[in-house]
């Protein structure tokens, strides 16, 4: 892949990641959050499953359960928390706090997966969490959405570690399809149990749903896995810090949200921390006696 094609695909992928936050908040005017996300992922997962029907499918109950577990954390946990948090915080703030997951991956990888990280990566973790404190901890009162959004970031980190551990057994696009289906079904069940589900069908709500399912899920996942497969995973992951930047920018464009200087400065620290964690050459060193994450 030539340099300019790589850069273009990276920008498109991270843009799609970031813009899903304000577009999703637009959808909350027409649907309850768990129902909206449940329909999104069932639709996207079902379509992708049909598109990948000819590829290697999961085998045995163990692989199906692994795909479902990733869906529980990746689709249901991450996006369920992110969108529910928008009852209290802006979509830009939700994007920033959700995307601290690379920092959590370092912490969880060290504690649970036996990974050893270099000092520069730990400095990135400290810098990133300082950004979180600066963005949200300096407010007079933390919103419930802050904690819910952070729970989504934790779920994102768990999903990342599980995917690292189990993905060699799967075709990645097949895994993406079934984890979205599993997560979507869990969200629909959660909607039935915890909210009064409703979806107002009109041109705008259908457009939002189709964008989230097609561009924000199928295209985004497809591009991301293509970049990981055809480029350097470490360099590619370093660009994840662009997603919250796009999220904040598009929240301003689409929703007219204003973000305080503390959040912007804290977001800059978070982005710098994520970059240091994922920068070229900053790969974790495994302990010889520890299993891979």
Q: Confirm whether 127 is domain-assigned.
A: yes
Question: Which pLDDT belongs to residue 291?
Answer: 30
- Residue 286 forms beta bridges with which residues? 115
The string of pLDDT tens digits covering residues 259-274 is 677 777 877 887 787 7
Question: Which pLDDT belongs to residue 233?
Answer: 56
Question: Which pLDDT belongs to residue 225?
Answer: 76
What is the average pLDDT across 127-136? 73
Task: Mark out the alpha helices in the chain (DSSP H runs).
Answer: 3-27, 33-51, 60-71, 80-85, 91-98, 101-112, 119-132, 144-166, 172-194, 203-210, 220-230, 233-238, 242-255, 261-278
Give 94's contacts (C-beta < 8 A, 6+ positions apart). Answer: 21, 82, 83, 85, 86, 145, 149, 247
What is the average pLDDT across 55-83? 92
pTM for the model = 0.81
pLDDT averaged over every residue in the chain = 83
Question: What is the SS3 assignment for 87?
Answer: coil
State percent of the chain over pLDDT 90.
Answer: 38
Confidence of residue 234 (pLDDT cuts 50, 70, 90): low
Q: Confirm whether 28 is domain-assigned.
A: yes
Lowest mean pLDDT among 50-59, 110-119, 159-168, 284-293: 284-293
Tokens of 106: 């370092």
Confidence of residue 65 (pLDDT cuts 50, 70, 90): very high
Q: Confirm whether 251 is domain-assigned.
A: yes
Q: Confirm whether 60 is domain-assigned.
A: yes
Count structural domains, the chain.
1
The span from the CA of 125 to the CA of 122, in Å, is 5
Question: Which pLDDT belongs to residue 186?
Answer: 96
Confidence of residue 64 (pLDDT cuts 50, 70, 90): very high
Confidence of residue 230 (pLDDT cuts 50, 70, 90): confident
Q: Confirm whether 292 is domain-assigned.
A: no
Lowest mean pLDDT among 91-100, 181-190, 251-260, 274-283: 274-283
Q: Confirm whether 244 is domain-assigned.
A: yes
Decide if pLDDT at 218 tops 90.
yes
Q: Confirm whether 291 is domain-assigned.
A: no
Question: Which pLDDT belongs to residue 232?
Answer: 60
115 or 219: which leads in pLDDT = 219
Question: Which pLDDT belongs to residue 293?
Answer: 31
Question: Which pLDDT belongs to residue 43?
Answer: 96
Would you say 149 and 86 are in contact if contact means Cβ atoms under 8 Å apart? no
- C-alpha distances out from residue 142 to 63, 145, 146, Å: 40, 8, 7
DSSP letters along 18-34, please?
HHHHHHHHHHTTTB-HH
Decide if pLDDT at 197 tops 50.
yes
Look up the domain containing 174 and give its range.
Answer: 3-286
Q: Confirm whether 169 is domain-assigned.
A: yes
């Amino acid at each position: 892949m030539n340099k300019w094609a790589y850069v273009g695909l990276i920008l498109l992928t991270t843009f799609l990641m970031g813009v899903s936050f304000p577009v999703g908040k637009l959808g909350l005017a027409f649907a309850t959050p768990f129902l909206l996300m449940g329909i999104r992922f069932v639709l996207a997962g079902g379509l992708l499953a049909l598109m990948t029907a000819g590829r290697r499918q999961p085998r045995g109950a163990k692989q199906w359960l692994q795909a479902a577990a990733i869906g529980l954390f990746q689709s249901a946990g991450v996006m369920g928390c992110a969108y529910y948090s928008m009852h209290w915080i802006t979509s830009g703030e939700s994007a920033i706090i959700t995307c601290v997951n690379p920092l959590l991956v370092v912490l969880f990888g060290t504690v649970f997966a036996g990974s050893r990280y270099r000092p520069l990566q730990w400095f990135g973790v400290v810098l990133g969490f300082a950004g979180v404190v600066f963005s949200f901890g300096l407010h007079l009162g933390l919103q419930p959405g802050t904690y819910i959004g952070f729970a989504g970031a934790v779920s994102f980190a768990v999903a990342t570690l599980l995917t690292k551990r189990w993905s060699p057994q799967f075709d990645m696009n097949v895994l993406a399809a079934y984890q979205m289906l599993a997560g979507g079904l869990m969200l629909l069940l959660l909607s039935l149990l915890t909210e009064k589900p409703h979806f107002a069908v009109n041109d705008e709500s259908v457009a939002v749903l189709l964008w989230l399912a097609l561009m924000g899920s199928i295209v985004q996942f497809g591009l991301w896995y293509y970049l990981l497969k055809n480029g350097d995973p470490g360099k590619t992951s370093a660009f994840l810090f662009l997603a919250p930047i796009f999220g904040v920018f598009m929240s301003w464009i689409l929703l007219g949200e204003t973000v305080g200087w503390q959040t912007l400065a804290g977001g800059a620290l978070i982005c710098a921390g994520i970059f240091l964690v994922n920068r070229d050459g900053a790969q974790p060193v495994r302990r010889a006696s520890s299993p891979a994450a």
